[in-house]
Amino acid sequence: MNKVLVLSLICLISIRGFEIDFQLLLQTGSESNDAVQAVYDLLNDLKTSNIEAQGVADEKNISDEEIGQARIAALSKVNELNQKAWASAKARREQIGVEYREATDYIAWATQRLADIDRRSIELQELRCFSNGLFVRAIKQHNDALGVIRILKNDLSGYLTGQPSSLVEVNVQNVSDKLKQYSQLFNQDAMTKFAQLAAEQASGNAELHALGQDEGSSSDRQPGHNIGQLVYNALSDLEDQLKGSLANLEANEIAAYYQLADWLADTESEVAHLNDEIQRKTQLQDKLVVQEQAALAVQAKANSVLKDSQNAINAATASLQELRDLYETELNRRNEENAIIDEVIHIFKQQVLEMANQTSYGKK
C-alpha cells in the first residue's frame, strides 16, 4: 500500500472533516452506523491486506533462503573440486620444474665428472710413462751392477782356486771403489762390510788370521776364510740383494700396470654409464619442456574454471543478499504502514466518540 494513500486517508479524516461527516452520520441514524462501520472495515482491510502480504513475503523469504543456501552449497562443492584440480595442476607443473632442474644438475655433474676422468687419465698416463722410464733406468742400473759383480766374482773365483786370473792379489778397496757408483742400490750394511774389510786389509791382518781368531774380529766370519773369500761372499750377498730388488721392481711395475688397467676398466665402464645417463637426461629434458607447456595450459584452464566457480558463488551470495535486503525493506515498509493504519484507527475512534458525545449533549 502506498504511503501517500495512507497520508491522504489521515487528511480526509481530520478533525474538521469529522465535524461535517459525523454530524451528518449521527443525524441519519442506522445509516450512520453503517458508514462508520464501513470506514472501520476499510482500515481493517488495509491492515489485513498488509498482514497477508507479509505472510506471503515470509514464506517466499524462507523459500528464497533455502534455495539460495542450497545453491551456494552446491556451488561451494564445485568450487572445492575446482580448487583441488587447480592445486593438482599447480603441483604437477612444479614437479616438472623440479625434475628439469634435477636433470640439469645431473648433466652438469656428469659432464664435470667426465672432464675429471679425462684429466686424471692423462695425469696417470703421464705418470705411468715417467714411472716406466724410472723402471727401465733402475733395471739398467741393477743389470750393470750385477754385471760388475759377476766380473769381480769371476776374477776372485779364479784367484781363489789358483786358476788363471787378472788378479795378482785381492785389493778390497779397489772392489769397493768399483761398486760405489751403484751404492744407491745396496743397503748400508753391505757397503759398511766392504769398508771394514778394506780397513782390515790395510792393517795387514786379514790375510794372516783365520776369521774368528782375533778378539776384535766379526762374528760372521768362518775359520779358514781369507780376505779373498770374504770379498767373494760379500759380493754374493750383494748379488742376491740386487736380484731380490730387481724381482721386487718387476713385481711392483706389474702391479702398477694392473692397477692402472683396473682403473681404466672401471672408468671406461663409468664413462659409458655417464654418457648414457647424459643422453637419457637430455631426452628427458626435451620431454619435460613439452610437458611443462601442457601443464601450464592445464593450470591456466584450472585457474580460469576456479575463478568462474568463485564468481558464481559470489553472484549467488549477492543475489541471496539482495532478496534478503528486499525482504527487510518490504517488511519495514509494511510495519510502518500498519503502524500508520493503527494510528488512523485510533484517531478515527476518538473522533467518532467526541462527535457522538457532542451530539448527545446538544439534544439535552
Q: What is the pLDDT of residue 21?
A: 47
Q: What is the pLDDT of residue 211?
A: 38
168 assigned to some structural domain: yes
Query: HEC profile for the chain?
Result: CCHHHHHHHHHHCCHHHHHHHHHHHHHCCHHHHHHHHHHHHHHHHHHHHHHHHHHHHHHHHHHHHHHHHHHHHHHHHHHHHHHHHHHHHHHHHHHHHHHHHHHHHHHHHHHHHHHHHHHHHHHHHHHHHHHHHHHHHHHHHHHHHHHHHHHHHHHHHHHHHCCCCCCCCCCHHHHHHHHHCCHHHCCHHHHHHHHHHHHHHHHCCCCCCCCCCCCCCCCCCCCCCCHHHHHHHHHHHHHHHHHHHHHHHHHHHHHHHHHHHHHHHHHHHHHHHHHHHHHHHHHHHHHHHHHHHHHHHHHHHHHHHHHHHHHHHHHHHHHHHHHHHHHHHHHHHHHHHHHHHHHHHHHHHHHHHHHHHHHHHHHC
Count: domains in the chain: 1
Mean pLDDT in order along the chain per 10 residues (364 residues) = 48 42 47 72 85 90 93 95 94 95 96 94 86 85 82 72 53 67 68 69 52 43 59 81 87 87 89 95 95 94 95 94 93 90 85 74 57
Q: What residues make up the domain containing 180?
A: 110-203+224-286
52 assigned to some structural domain: no
Q: What is the pLDDT of residue 23?
A: 46
88 assigned to some structural domain: no
Q: What is the pLDDT of residue 212?
A: 36
33 assigned to some structural domain: no
Q: What is the pLDDT of residue 160?
A: 66
312 assigned to some structural domain: no
165 assigned to some structural domain: yes
78 assigned to some structural domain: no
Q: What is the pTM of this model?
A: 0.56
40 assigned to some structural domain: no
